[in-house]
Structure 1
Amino acid sequence: MPGIEETDMNFTHMRGIVRAIAVVLSLAIPLVIAISSADARIGGGGSSGSRGSRTFSAPPSTTTAPGTAAPMNRTFTQPGSPGVGAPAAAGARGGFFNRPGLLGGLAAGFLGAGLLGMLFGGGMFSGLGGLSSILGLILQIGLIIIVVRLAMSWWQRRQTPAAAYAGGPDTGPAAAQSSFRSGMGFGLGSGSAPLEILPADYEAFERLLGEIQGAWSDEDIAKLNTLATPEMVSYFTKDLEQNKAQNDVNKTSNVKLLQGDLAEAWREGETDYASVAMRFSLVDKTLERGTGRLVAGSDTPIEATEVWTFARRRGANWELSAIQQTS
């Protein structure tokens, strides 16, 4: 009977949609939890700034940060800018579905063959006449994007060097900080040269870690302007304005460096760069502005591991140039 057949088809289609929702939620919920638990501290949950010609190249892994540093999601540097390596620029322009090799084939295969559509009964673009079919299509596209992003993350980890070029800790009276390992960084930047990092530089990096967190907590833009590049200060200013719009204030205190490794250091023209993996502890609290009511965080110290890149013009002081989250 036509009515029974139509009912069976609708039931089959709805069952496919339910399966799609279950798969999407199973992948999305861990991501939502990870995002919601991101710390409110300066740079928490995102990667911002510039690393000269290496902005689009991940810094080498280190003992402190053995995983992969996240790519920049906020940067003034453009892939086609002079000095940016051609391979990195080409990769950044390619996007999800224009990447060569594994990722391009994976994405094209999903879209071309309509794999998810066949798994849930029917082709990817079949039966778009009803609202439920359109919802199913949206869920399929969302699932494809999630799968491709996971594949991209795997590919980046595979392409990242296994270890940083770093020597053992300095010994003798000149050794400044046992928390850091010293060495010289070598990489693939265009027009760059290796740079030796001295104990005094490590002292500056640790001092900047604490002073920048303190200026952020005090919402002191003038102070941040003396500690970070104009690009980073623009991001901090925007984030602080967002906190004010939400009637929140983020307070960080008791910042303590626990371990640090030099990932790489190099010179480009008149500018020196040093990317340092740092594991540190701090108290991170978000309070309601005016009342001081605790919104998030606690008085219990937490630990974080990030890659901070510092830059300085010849003869000038180090400034924070980028913060990257680690996986």
Structure 2
Amino acid sequence: MKSTQRARGIVQAVAVVLSLALPLISAVSPADARIGGGVSSGSRGARTFSAPPSTSTAPNAAQPFNRTITQPASPGLGTPAGGGFFNRPGMGMLGGLAAGFLGAGLLGMLFGGGMFGGLGGLSSIIGLMLQIGLIIIVVRLAMSWWQRRHETASAYAGGPAGPGASPSFRTATGFGLGSGSAPLEIVPSDYEAFERLLGEIQAAWSNEDVARLHTMATPEMVSYFAGDLEKNKARNVVNKVSGTKLLQGDLAEAWREGDTDYASVALRFSMVDQTVDRATGRLVEGSEQPTEATEVWTFLRPRGGNWELSAIQQT
């Protein structure tokens, strides 16, 4: 009897939870219909697996990527192919030899044969000199590796901005520098390009114009957009986003990798997001009233080229 009552109570609790959750799901689903599907997609170069800094526009951390072609072990991501101190890039044959000698020496010490007990029991003055030389080599390698690591971190952490930049920089478009100065200078024309791409990409998405999207986004992002559009076609619906208006924007970070510039920008914008039946135009999801969204868009630009969308992250 008690077990029956307990089972009935569990069923009632589940029913209550579902009744509360369904309205929330209905409220969230329209926001997921816009371009990007409400998930985090794309790549941020060597920073794909590190979150962009928070800004006043997007104080919450950006979500990790749900869809990306970048792999954690890809070259240029700062992840060595193997573990261990002596497997660092740039150590080369010298590092390998030092590791071998050091390992053999430590092994000899463990077995009571001295530092070079594992190499034939050298105990002469020559052995002592070799030990001292080996220690100097290892220390210099460690210091060199540490110095290179800090130089790289300093270059990407945000040094002084280029001429004309200011931590309080604002443009008529509503962009602000946000997280502070960056090693890559972002000028007013760049902010204007970001805002223009925000609207034009949404328009191309609404028109299901994949060819147009190819001119404004990376092949990776277009592949995701094309897949999402095909899913809409399979459902016999089309997502229409109109009236896109930038409300606030902040630069999260900007950097350079080789001949490619990157800029991650927090965007808060309003839009009318509607999903309608493809044949009748009947509203299926969304609303005729404007809604707001906050996302982090990353743009890349080949040296001398134009900005294009490289990633969208939810906040």
TM-score bucket of the superposed structures, by smaller chain:
0.5 to 0.7
2:57 matched residue in structure 1: 64
Consecutive unaligned residues in structure 2, runs of 5 or more: 84-156
Cα deviation, 1:21-77, whole Å, max 9, x if unaligned, reads: 479759966874564343411014111000011111111111111112111100001
- Please tell me whether residue 258 in structure 1 is matched to residue 251 in structure 2: no
Q: Within 1, Cα distance between the matches of 2:178 and 2:59?
A: 17
Q: Which amino acid aligns with 1:57?
A: S
Are 1:195 and 2:184 matched, yes or no?
Answer: yes
- Measured against aligned partners, the alpha-carbon deviations of 1:88-147 in whole angstroms (never above 9, x if no partner) come to xx9xxxxxxxxxxxxxxxxxxxxxxxxxxxxxxxxxxxxxxxxxxxxxxxxxxxxxxxxx
Alpha-carbon distance in structure 1 between the residues aligned to 2:56 and 2:227: 33
CA RMSD of aligned residues (A): 3.2
CA contact (8 A) 2:173 2:246 kept: no
Report what 1:312 is aligned to: 301
2:96 corresponds to which residue? none
| 8 Å contact from structure 1 (residues 62, 261) kept in 2 | yes
Q: TM-score, normalised by structure 1?
A: 0.63
Moved more, 43-52 or 221-230: 43-52
Residue 304 (structure 1) shift:
1.1
| Contact 1:283-1:299 at 8 Å conserved across structures | yes
Report the Cα distance in structure 2 between the residues aligned to 1:303 and 1:85, rounded to whole angstroms: 36
Question: Does residue 1:55 correspond to 2:48, yes or no?
Answer: yes
Aligned equivalents of 1:292 and 1:271: distance in 2?
42
Say yes or no: does 1:42 pair with 2:35.
yes
SS in 2 for 1:196: coil
Bigger radius of gyration among the two: 2
Contact 2:51 2:62 in 1 (8 A): yes
Where does residue 103 of structure 2 map in the other structure? Answer: none
> Deviation of residue 298 (structure 1)?
2.5
The answer as to 2:297 corresponding to 1:282 is: no
Corresponding residue of 2:175: 180
Does the Cα contact within 8 Å between 1:183 and 1:196 map onto a contact in 2?
Answer: no
Q: 1:77 to 1:18 in 2, by over 3 A?
A: same
**Residue type matched to 1:49 in 2?**
G
CA distance in 2, matches of 1:289, 1:185: 45
**Residues 185 and 319 (structure 1), Cα distance of their counterparts in 2 relative to 1, 3 Å cut:** farther
3-state SS, counterpart of residue 83 of structure 1? coil
| SS of aligned partner of 2:261 | strand
* Residue identity in the other structure for 1:67: N
Q: For 2:61 and 2:292, locate their aligned partners in 1 and report how far apart those are by CA, in whole Å.
A: 18
CA shift, 1:14, in A, is 3.5
Per the TM alignment, residue 254 of structure 1 is displaced from its structure 2 partner at its CA by 1.2
Per-residue CA distance 1:267-289 (angstroms, 9 max, x = gap): 11111110000111111111110
Corresponding residue SS for 1:242: helix
Whether the aligned pair in 2 keeps the contact of 1:251 and 1:285 (CA below 8 Å) is: yes
SS of equivalent residue, structure 1 residue 291: coil
- TM-score after normalising by structure 2: 0.66
Distance 2:27 2:287 in 1: 18
Find 1:84's aligned residue among 77, 80, 85: 77
Measure the CA separation in 2 of the matches of 1:25 and 1:50.
Answer: 36
3-state DSSP class of the match of 2:194? helix
Residue 180 of structure 1 contacts residue 259 of structure 1 at CA under 8 Å; is this kept in 2?
A: yes
Gaps of 5+ in 1: 1-6, 91-160, 171-175, 187-192
